[in-house]
Chains A and B, each alone.
Chain A
Amino acid sequence: KQEVTQIPAALSVPEGENLVLNCSFTDSAIYNLQWFRQDPGKGLTSLLLIQSSQREQTSGRLNASLDKSSGRSTLYIAASQPGDSATYLCAASTDSWGKLQFGAGTQVVVTP
């Protein structure tokens, strides 16, 4: 069974610093990996999706890498802002149906 782990569970950084969020998974036979953001009391917002054939995806200040051989994905957020404060979740899918196995998330606080 696929297990997804996110470390650390919480992170606090000053505004302007780059954020590095880590995600590891046990089964390298993934179909894709997605990063989400969750604000308190809200659903999840999709940030980036990396297909298994890709090594990275970029959107604005966000960049996500995928290394299947080591079972790791990293989300980089450049020049963090207080509005980036949220919980970030990664999720791996091991089939084309898209069923997601989630990590527990990293709670990020960006201080002004």
Chain B
Amino acid sequence: GAGVSQSPSNKVTEKGKDVELRCDPISGHTALYWYRQSLGQGLEFLIYFQGNSAPDKSGLPSDRFSAERTGGSVSTLTIQRTQQEDSAVYLCASSLEGGAPQHFGDGTRLSIL
């Protein structure tokens, strides 16, 4: 597709379960970002990938959060042992290179029961 694609669009899970969120960036975009948007905290940076490496993981809130990117393309954000405070919309963005305009997907709305 032409834009950034995220799946699933909605995810409801029980506290303590693990979840995986997927991001397909725009083809040819080397930079990929994950952000989280919640009512109380606004939009927060989580992690940045350049190619398959993550030079900036400073926004990951705890060691329950991890992310990987393979083939310089698809990225997966994994949250282990989910907690209610993890409920938020998780947004992925990609850009041609770091510092270029970022193009966002529609996000995954995660609800922890």
Interchain nearest-CB distance for B55 vs A (Å): 7
Choose one: A31, A46, A103, A105; the contact of B101 (CB below 8 Å): A46
A99 touches B45 (CB 8 A): yes
- Contact A97 B55, beta carbon cutoff 8 Å: yes
Distance in angstroms from B39 CB to nearest chain A CB is: 11
Residues of A within 8 A of B44 (CB): 102
B4, B58, B100: the one within 8 Å of A98 (CB): B100
Query: Which residues of A (45-88) have their CB < 8 Å from a CB of B?
Result: 45-46, 49
Q: Is the CB of A46 within 8 A of B98?
A: no
Q: How far is the CB of B18 from chain A (nearest CB, A)?
A: 24
B69 to chain A, nearest CB (A): 14
Quick check: is A112 within 8 A (CB to CB) of the other chain?
no
User: Which residues of chain A come closer than 8 Å to B103, judged between CB atoms?
Assistant: 46
Chain A interface (Cβ within 8 Å of chain B)? Answer: 31-32, 34, 36, 41-46, 49, 89, 91, 93, 95-105
Q: Which residues of B contact A (CB under 8 A)?
A: 4, 31, 33, 35, 42-45, 48, 50, 55-56, 58-59, 91, 93, 95, 98-107
